C-alpha cells in the first residue's frame, strides 16, 4: 500500500463543511498524528506535503476551516508563526492571561530587577511567559 493510500485510509469526509477528517491517532489538541518514513508528524502537515509539496522549514501549515482534525489540502495554507498567531487571534482562539496594564507593571518590575520566576508566580503565568516579555518576543507593542 502506498504512503498516500495508507494515509487517506485514516480519513472520512464531512459533507457539510468539505473537511476531510482524520480518524487516526490525535494529540491532546485534536490534531492528527501519522508516521511516514519513520517520522511521526502532524497529519495536516503530511496531507499538505502529499498533496502540494514540501514545506519550507520556517513555515507552518494553517487551517482555513479552523478544524484541527481536517486534512483537506484545500483547507490548508502555509504561513509563518506570526501568521498563525494572527489567524488564531482573528478567529478568537487566543486568550491572554495578562492585560495591558499588567504587562506594563511587569515591564516596570523587570526594569527594577524582579525575577522571571517571581513575576510568574505573582501574575499566575509561567516563567517562560515572563521571559518572553522581558526579551521582547511577546507584548513588544506595550510600552
Per-residue pLDDT tens for 91-106?
877 767 888 899 999 9
Asked if the model's pLDDT at residue 19 lies above 80, the reply is yes
Task: Return the pLDDT at 88.
Answer: 82
Give yes or no: residues 125 and 58 share one domain.
no
Residue 10 belongs to some domain of the structure: yes
Residue 139 belongs to some domain of the structure: no
Give yes or no: residues 108 and 38 share one domain.
no
Residue 15 belongs to some domain of the structure: yes
Give yes or no: residues 51 and 84 share one domain.
yes
User: 104 near 86, Cβ under 8 Å?
Assistant: no
Domain with 33 in it: what CATH number? 3.90.75.20
Number of domains in the chain: 2
- Structural domain for 70, as ranges: 3-90
Give yes or no: residues 13 and 59 share one domain.
yes
Residue 43 belongs to some domain of the structure: yes
Task: Return the pLDDT at 82.
Answer: 86
Amino acid at each position: 500500500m502506498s504512503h498516500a493510500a495508507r494515509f487517506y485510509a485514516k480519513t472520512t469526509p464531512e459533507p457539510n463543511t468539505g473537511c476531510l477528517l482524520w480518524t487516526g491517532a490525535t494529540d491532546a489538541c485534536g490534531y492528527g498524528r501519522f508516521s511516514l518514513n519513520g517520522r511521526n508528524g502532524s497529519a495536516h502537515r503530511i496531507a499538505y506535503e502529499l498533496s502540494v509539496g514540501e514545506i519550507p522549514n520556517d513555515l507552518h501549515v494553517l487551517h482555513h476551516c479552523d478544524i484541527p482534525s481536517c486534512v483537506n489540502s484545500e483547507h490548508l495554507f502555509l504561513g509563518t508563526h506570526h501568521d498563525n498567531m494572527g489567524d488564531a487571534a482573528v478567529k478568537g482562539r487566543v486568550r491572554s492571561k495578562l492585560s495591558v496594564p499588567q504587562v506594563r507593571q511587569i515591564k516596570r518590575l523587570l526594569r527594577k530587577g524582579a525575577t522571571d520566576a517571581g513575576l510568574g508566580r505573582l501574575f499566575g503565568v509561567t516563567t517562560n511567559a515572563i521571559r518572553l516579555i522581558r526579551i521582547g518576543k511577546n507584548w513588544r507593542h506595550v510600552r
